[in-house]
Amino acid sequence: MQSLARIALVVSDYDEALDYYVGTLGFDATEDSEVSAEKRWVVVTPPGSECSLLLAKAKGADQKAAIGNQSGGRVFLFLHTDNFDGDYARYTEAGVDFIEDPRQEAYGKVVVFRDLYGNLWDLIGRS
């Protein structure tokens, strides 16, 4: 058996990223350890998920240029929910940047949002 355990997401600032992913999206801060004076090991996990995000602070020009565009402008991350309407309402109230209205697809309800860095996400309520 194999499974994805963690995805590195390049960010500009650890605390700013934590505030968004934990404070706005409601993820759990599952790890936050200092590795060196400049580097931390910061992990956030959506509630109930086995896969988490490693918030990796950009270092150098190439990594800084990738912030918000790790997938070349395509939807990058897919967040499944068992409460689409509730999460959509909560995220809307929290100021999440939805770039479209929710729509019904064969696989469920979906809406695209942009995180604080510009990465595109699908919020999906599976049918």
Ordered by where they begin, the domains of the chain are 1-67 (3.10.180.10), 68-126 (3.30.720.110)
**Residue 127: its pLDDT value, please?**
79
3-state SS, residue 55 = strand
Distance CA 122, CA 124 (A): 6
Q: What is the pTM of this model?
A: 0.94
Distance CA 78, CA 115 (A): 12
| Residue 32, number of CB atoms within 10 A of its CB | 14
**Tokens (6 digits) for 37:** 């004076």
- DSSP class of residue 116 equals T
Say which residues have a Cβ less than 8 Å from residue 18's Cβ, sequence separation at least 6: 29, 32, 42, 44, 55
**Residue 83: its pLDDT value, please?**
96
Q: pLDDT tens for residues 41-57? A: 999 999 999 999 999 99
Beta carbons of 67 and 78 less than 8 angstroms apart: no
**How many angstroms from the chain centroid is the CA of residue 75?**
11
pLDDT-based confidence at 37, cuts 50/70/90? confident
Bridge-based pairing state of the strands 97-98 and 75-81: unpaired
